[in-house]
Amino acid sequence: MVACPATTTTTDAGTDAATFDEPLPCQPDASPDASDDVQPTHPPFQNACSPAQISDYAQCQGQKMTSLCEQFKPGGPGEACGKCIETAAESPLWGVIVFKGSTASMNVEGCVDDALGTTECGDALHRLYQCEEIVCSACTGGDFRSCELQATESPQGFCKGYSDTVLDPTGPCAAINGDAGLPCAVQNCFPNTACTDTTRQQVDWLARIVAYMCGAPTTDCPVGSTNPCP
Protein backbone atom coordinates (compact mmCIF):
# COMPACT_ATOMS: atom_id res chain seq x y z
CA MET A 1 0.00 0.00 0.00
CA VAL A 2 2.42 2.64 -1.21
CA ALA A 3 0.93 5.90 -2.40
CA CYS A 4 2.93 8.17 -4.65
CA PRO A 5 1.21 11.50 -5.25
CA ALA A 6 1.11 12.75 -8.78
CA THR A 7 3.41 15.62 -9.56
CA THR A 8 1.47 18.84 -9.16
CA THR A 9 2.08 22.29 -10.55
CA THR A 10 1.76 25.44 -8.52
CA THR A 11 -0.71 28.02 -9.74
CA ASP A 12 2.05 30.57 -10.28
CA ALA A 13 4.67 29.47 -12.78
CA GLY A 14 7.48 30.72 -10.58
CA THR A 15 10.22 30.17 -13.17
CA ASP A 16 9.69 32.99 -15.66
CA ALA A 17 13.40 33.20 -16.44
CA ALA A 18 13.84 29.49 -17.14
CA THR A 19 15.53 28.74 -20.45
CA PHE A 20 16.14 25.41 -22.11
CA ASP A 21 18.97 24.87 -24.57
CA GLU A 22 18.25 21.30 -25.62
CA PRO A 23 16.00 18.34 -24.78
CA LEU A 24 16.86 16.39 -21.67
CA PRO A 25 18.22 12.89 -22.32
CA CYS A 26 15.26 11.41 -20.46
CA GLN A 27 12.65 13.24 -22.56
CA PRO A 28 11.01 11.51 -25.54
CA ASP A 29 11.13 13.14 -28.97
CA ALA A 30 7.44 12.82 -29.79
CA SER A 31 4.40 14.57 -28.40
CA PRO A 32 2.39 12.35 -26.03
CA ASP A 33 -1.29 11.64 -26.38
CA ALA A 34 -2.82 12.85 -23.12
CA SER A 35 -6.19 11.19 -23.54
CA ASP A 36 -9.07 12.14 -21.29
CA ASP A 37 -9.62 8.96 -19.28
CA VAL A 38 -10.44 10.64 -15.99
CA GLN A 39 -13.26 9.11 -13.96
CA PRO A 40 -15.70 11.02 -11.72
CA THR A 41 -14.62 11.47 -8.10
CA HIS A 42 -16.82 10.64 -5.16
CA PRO A 43 -18.24 13.66 -3.29
CA PRO A 44 -16.24 15.07 -0.35
CA PHE A 45 -16.90 14.39 3.32
CA GLN A 46 -17.80 10.71 3.00
CA ASN A 47 -17.56 10.38 6.81
CA ALA A 48 -15.66 7.11 6.31
CA CYS A 49 -12.53 8.02 8.28
CA SER A 50 -12.21 9.09 11.89
CA PRO A 51 -9.70 11.80 12.87
CA ALA A 52 -7.43 9.11 14.32
CA GLN A 53 -7.60 7.08 11.11
CA ILE A 54 -6.84 10.17 9.03
CA SER A 55 -3.76 10.87 11.15
CA ASP A 56 -2.68 7.22 11.02
CA TYR A 57 -3.03 7.02 7.25
CA ALA A 58 -1.06 10.23 6.73
CA GLN A 59 1.75 8.97 8.96
CA CYS A 60 1.61 5.49 7.45
CA GLN A 61 2.20 6.86 3.96
CA GLY A 62 4.01 10.15 4.55
CA GLN A 63 6.35 9.06 7.33
CA LYS A 64 6.42 5.40 6.24
CA MET A 65 5.19 4.24 9.65
CA THR A 66 4.02 0.98 8.09
CA SER A 67 2.68 -0.51 11.33
CA LEU A 68 -0.18 2.00 11.05
CA CYS A 69 -1.15 0.66 7.61
CA GLU A 70 -2.48 -2.71 8.78
CA GLN A 71 -5.82 -1.36 9.97
CA PHE A 72 -6.79 -0.23 6.44
CA LYS A 73 -6.49 -3.69 4.90
CA PRO A 74 -9.59 -5.87 4.21
CA GLY A 75 -11.07 -7.07 7.49
CA GLY A 76 -9.32 -4.37 9.51
CA PRO A 77 -11.08 -1.71 11.59
CA GLY A 78 -10.16 0.95 9.03
CA GLU A 79 -11.26 -1.01 5.94
CA ALA A 80 -14.09 1.42 5.06
CA CYS A 81 -11.72 4.36 5.41
CA GLY A 82 -9.13 2.63 3.22
CA LYS A 83 -11.72 1.93 0.53
CA CYS A 84 -12.74 5.59 0.49
CA ILE A 85 -9.13 6.70 0.10
CA GLU A 86 -7.76 4.11 -2.31
CA THR A 87 -9.52 3.19 -5.55
CA ALA A 88 -8.55 1.47 -8.79
CA ALA A 89 -8.35 3.42 -12.04
CA GLU A 90 -11.23 1.36 -13.44
CA SER A 91 -13.52 2.14 -10.48
CA PRO A 92 -16.65 4.13 -11.42
CA LEU A 93 -15.79 6.73 -8.76
CA TRP A 94 -12.25 7.71 -7.84
CA GLY A 95 -11.10 8.39 -4.29
CA VAL A 96 -8.09 10.24 -2.88
CA ILE A 97 -5.50 7.88 -4.37
CA VAL A 98 -5.93 6.07 -7.68
CA PHE A 99 -4.08 2.86 -8.54
CA LYS A 100 -3.21 1.83 -12.07
CA GLY A 101 -1.85 -1.61 -11.36
CA SER A 102 0.78 -1.06 -8.67
CA THR A 103 1.30 2.61 -9.55
CA ALA A 104 -0.58 5.13 -7.43
CA SER A 105 -1.20 8.85 -7.84
CA MET A 106 -2.96 11.50 -5.81
CA ASN A 107 -6.31 12.46 -7.30
CA VAL A 108 -5.68 16.21 -7.15
CA GLU A 109 -7.88 16.86 -10.16
CA GLY A 110 -10.87 15.10 -8.60
CA CYS A 111 -10.38 16.97 -5.33
CA VAL A 112 -10.41 20.24 -7.27
CA ASP A 113 -13.60 19.19 -9.06
CA ASP A 114 -15.23 18.48 -5.68
CA ALA A 115 -14.08 21.81 -4.27
CA LEU A 116 -15.19 23.89 -7.26
CA GLY A 117 -18.36 21.95 -7.99
CA THR A 118 -17.44 21.54 -11.67
CA THR A 119 -15.43 19.12 -13.78
CA GLU A 120 -13.77 21.50 -16.26
CA CYS A 121 -10.73 22.45 -14.19
CA GLY A 122 -10.14 18.91 -12.95
CA ASP A 123 -10.25 17.61 -16.53
CA ALA A 124 -7.71 20.25 -17.60
CA LEU A 125 -5.42 19.39 -14.70
CA HIS A 126 -5.72 15.68 -15.46
CA ARG A 127 -4.61 16.17 -19.05
CA LEU A 128 -1.66 18.30 -17.91
CA TYR A 129 -0.54 15.82 -15.24
CA GLN A 130 -0.95 12.90 -17.63
CA CYS A 131 1.15 14.67 -20.25
CA GLU A 132 3.90 15.45 -17.73
CA GLU A 133 3.97 11.86 -16.52
CA ILE A 134 4.25 10.51 -20.07
CA VAL A 135 6.90 13.00 -21.15
CA CYS A 136 9.05 12.77 -18.03
CA SER A 137 8.49 9.15 -17.00
CA ALA A 138 12.12 8.26 -17.70
CA CYS A 139 13.47 11.10 -15.56
CA THR A 140 14.62 10.82 -11.96
CA GLY A 141 15.70 13.25 -9.28
CA GLY A 142 16.29 16.82 -10.38
CA ASP A 143 15.95 15.82 -14.03
CA PHE A 144 12.25 15.15 -13.48
CA ARG A 145 11.56 18.70 -12.31
CA SER A 146 13.70 20.12 -15.12
CA CYS A 147 11.84 18.00 -17.65
CA GLU A 148 8.50 19.07 -16.17
CA LEU A 149 9.43 22.75 -16.50
CA GLN A 150 10.69 22.27 -20.04
CA ALA A 151 7.58 20.37 -21.06
CA THR A 152 5.22 23.07 -19.77
CA GLU A 153 7.12 26.35 -20.18
CA SER A 154 9.30 26.03 -23.25
CA PRO A 155 7.54 27.33 -26.41
CA GLN A 156 8.22 23.92 -27.94
CA GLY A 157 7.22 22.03 -24.80
CA PHE A 158 5.06 18.98 -25.41
CA CYS A 159 2.71 19.92 -22.54
CA LYS A 160 2.66 23.70 -22.92
CA GLY A 161 -0.80 23.72 -24.48
CA TYR A 162 -2.22 21.85 -21.50
CA SER A 163 -0.34 24.12 -19.08
CA ASP A 164 -1.60 27.24 -20.87
CA THR A 165 -5.18 26.01 -20.48
CA VAL A 166 -4.72 25.50 -16.74
CA LEU A 167 -3.05 28.90 -16.25
CA ASP A 168 -5.42 30.86 -18.50
CA PRO A 169 -6.89 33.67 -16.32
CA THR A 170 -10.22 33.25 -18.08
CA GLY A 171 -10.01 29.47 -18.53
CA PRO A 172 -11.55 26.56 -16.61
CA CYS A 173 -9.10 26.90 -13.71
CA ALA A 174 -9.40 30.68 -13.33
CA ALA A 175 -10.82 30.20 -9.81
CA ILE A 176 -7.56 28.69 -8.57
CA ASN A 177 -5.25 31.12 -10.35
CA GLY A 178 -6.42 34.41 -8.91
CA ASP A 179 -4.30 36.86 -6.89
CA ALA A 180 -6.40 36.14 -3.81
CA GLY A 181 -4.95 32.64 -3.61
CA LEU A 182 -6.63 29.27 -3.53
CA PRO A 183 -10.28 29.19 -2.40
CA CYS A 184 -10.71 27.64 1.02
CA ALA A 185 -11.91 24.19 -0.08
CA VAL A 186 -9.31 23.95 -2.86
CA GLN A 187 -6.50 24.38 -0.33
CA ASN A 188 -7.15 20.79 0.72
CA CYS A 189 -6.16 19.55 -2.71
CA PHE A 190 -2.59 20.89 -2.86
CA PRO A 191 0.51 20.63 -0.69
CA ASN A 192 1.41 23.52 1.56
CA THR A 193 4.35 25.06 -0.31
CA ALA A 194 5.38 27.01 2.81
CA CYS A 195 6.37 23.67 4.31
CA THR A 196 9.89 22.99 3.04
CA ASP A 197 10.40 19.71 4.87
CA THR A 198 9.18 17.20 2.30
CA THR A 199 8.11 14.54 4.81
CA ARG A 200 6.13 16.98 6.94
CA GLN A 201 4.63 18.50 3.80
CA GLN A 202 3.52 15.06 2.60
CA VAL A 203 1.97 14.12 5.95
CA ASP A 204 0.15 17.45 6.19
CA TRP A 205 -1.12 17.17 2.61
CA LEU A 206 -2.37 13.62 3.06
CA ALA A 207 -4.13 14.51 6.30
CA ARG A 208 -5.91 17.48 4.72
CA ILE A 209 -6.97 15.84 1.47
CA VAL A 210 -8.14 12.65 3.21
CA ALA A 211 -10.06 14.67 5.82
CA TYR A 212 -11.75 16.65 3.04
CA MET A 213 -12.67 13.71 0.84
CA CYS A 214 -13.25 10.94 3.39
CA GLY A 215 -13.69 12.61 6.78
CA ALA A 216 -16.64 14.20 8.56
CA PRO A 217 -18.23 17.41 7.20
CA THR A 218 -16.68 20.63 8.46
CA THR A 219 -16.71 24.31 7.55
CA ASP A 220 -13.20 24.96 8.85
CA CYS A 221 -10.74 26.38 6.33
CA PRO A 222 -7.56 24.26 6.13
CA VAL A 223 -3.99 25.38 6.34
CA GLY A 224 -3.28 27.52 3.30
CA SER A 225 -0.17 27.71 1.16
CA THR A 226 1.08 30.82 2.98
CA ASN A 227 0.96 29.25 6.45
CA PRO A 228 4.02 27.75 8.13
CA CYS A 229 4.52 24.02 8.09
CA PRO A 230 2.58 22.38 10.96
Within a domain: 109: yes
Within a domain: 200: yes
> What is the reported pLDDT for 28?
55
> What is the reported pLDDT for 25?
56
* Rounded Cα gap, residues 23 and 157, in angstroms: 10
> What is the reported pLDDT for 19?
40
> What is the reported pLDDT for 221?
74
Query: In a 10 Å sphere around its CB, with 0-12 CB exposed, 13-18 middle and 19+ buried, how is residue 25 labelled?
Result: exposed
Within a domain: 57: yes
> What is the reported pLDDT for 137?
81
> What is the reported pLDDT for 58?
95
- CA angle 230/43/229 to nearest 5° reads 10
Within a domain: 205: yes
> Which residues are paired to 99 by β-bridges?
88, 104
Q: Cα-flanking dihedrals φ and ψ of residue 173, to 5°?
A: -105, 20
The one-character DSSP state at 94 is B
For the whole model, what pTM was predicted? Answer: 0.80
Within a domain: 6: no
User: What's the domain range around 66?
Assistant: 51-116+175-214
Per-residue pLDDT of the chain (230 residues; tens, 9 = 90+): 333 333 333 333 333 333 444 555 565 555 556 565 778 999 999 999 999 999 999 999 988 898 999 999 999 999 999 999 999 999 999 999 999 888 898 999 999 999 999 999 999 999 898 888 888 888 877 787 888 888 888 887 888 999 999 999 999 999 998 776 788 889 999 998 888 898 999 999 999 999 999 999 987 776 444 456 66
Domains contained in the chain, number:
1
Within a domain: 2: no
Within a domain: 132: no
> What is the reported pLDDT for 36?
57
